Amino acid sequence: MIIHVVQVGDTIKSISEKYRIPIITLIQENGLTNPNNLVPGQSIIIINPKVSYTAQKGDTLVNIANKYGVSIMELLRNNPHLSNRDLYPGEIVIIQFDTQKVREIEISGFAYPHINRDILKKTLPFLTYLTVFNYQVTGAGNIIEVDDMELIQLAKQYGVAPMMLISTLSPSGIGSRETALNIVSNISLQDTHIDKIISILKKKGYYGINAYLQHLDNDNRVIYEKYISRFAYRMHQEGYLINITVNPKILYERTSVTYEKIDYSNLAKVVDSVLILSYEWGYSYEPPASATPINILEQMLSNITTIIQPSKLLLGIPIIGYDWKLPYIPGETKANAITHEAAIDLAVIQSVTIQYDETAEAPYYFYTSNDKQLHIVWFKDSRSINTLLKLILEFNLEGGSVWNVMYFFTQLWYLVNTQFEIKKLL
């Protein structure tokens, strides 16, 4: 696998000729929406097939899978563009890539119930867990349910374990510290709260729970430990998995960036997995920067893996970028979310060159909008994702957790698929 960074003068044709790979393959592996307008600084993944098959009239993925002794899921991972349609004669189907898969990992993906079903079907072959976002917990310990039965059923059809996420987050992403602390410090309320969760798990057929500990800090860690210990005991007693999500806060100091150090070891002892992930929303008031810079993440993992068994850790893989107006005004400047594809399209429109921060391992660029306002865009590309995947190997983690899968980030899934086997629990 090669990552090619587009240079001035590069075209899809010249890259195809350089690496001796068909143009259609480049387009499919990179999800290129505008292949005739590449941007200097844009990253292109080059993954050569080892075994391929030319579809004949009447062929289906089932008969091709049987012919080559591979699973349908493997074919769908190798050819995600075929997830929602029939084959046509002459079409090339990738049976195997010319890459070495290092080991098996778990991959979790987060989705809202309104996810586009075609995107969901395209994504499910790559997942171990589908975590449905979000069952909101109220101050009285009640749970606001969501319409998710179709997602749960689809997940199971693809061998993916559906997980129910609980948090105090509202639909706009605002959490309630008061509600969270009220529940974790009130034992009688916890019993009612946990009973209601178990009832939903049974009724809907979930595989387990993911509890987002948004308000966990060093001041309240002990009461959270007691709460999660009781919660985990009940979940395991009923035969369910319990995962927790923690989000060590990134601290932006005047001259440096660091993170909040919290001892998660007692929590990790009683749960099945710990996800290290910050949920990013459709906007951000944080200073312009890459989401979870790699250098900070490395420091964090160096510390956390000394107190938590690496085989219990899933690394957060945020794929959302942001567009800030400059100059940044703390508490006032609001950055808007942007996908990888949208960031590339905007760079094309603005005729800018994409830069790359080697320390944060993230692409960015500046542009001036029609109203003469200077902007900076930070986002993720194949280089960023590949570096995150290397951290999974470097620290021997159980896997990764993608926030979120509401859009299909093609490069991400090709990088995951060509380097790892995906663990399936069903």
Measured CA to CA, the distance from residue 49 to residue 95 in angstroms comes to 8
Strand partners, 274: 244, 313
* Local confidence pLDDT in tens for the 426 residues of the chain: 999 999 999 999 999 999 999 999 999 999 999 999 999 999 999 999 999 999 999 999 999 999 999 999 999 999 999 998 889 999 999 999 999 999 999 999 999 999 999 999 999 999 999 999 999 999 888 999 999 999 999 999 999 999 999 999 887 778 899 999 999 999 989 999 999 999 999 999 999 999 999 889 999 999 999 999 999 999 999 999 999 999 887 766 666 667 778 999 999 999 999 999 866 655 688 889 887 788 889 989 999 999 999 999 999 999 999 999 999 999 899 999 999 999 999 999 999 999 999 999 999 999 999 999 999 999 999 999 999 999 999 999 999 999 999 999 999 999 999 999 999 999
Residue 124's SS3 state is: helix
The full set of domains in the chain, from first to last, is 2-97 (3.10.350.10), 103-319+381-422 (3.20.20.80)
Cβ proximity of 314 and 271 under 8 Å: no
Q: How many Å from the N-terminal Cα to the C-terminal Cα in the chain? A: 30
Dihedral sign for Cα atoms in the order 121, 283, 144, 228: positive
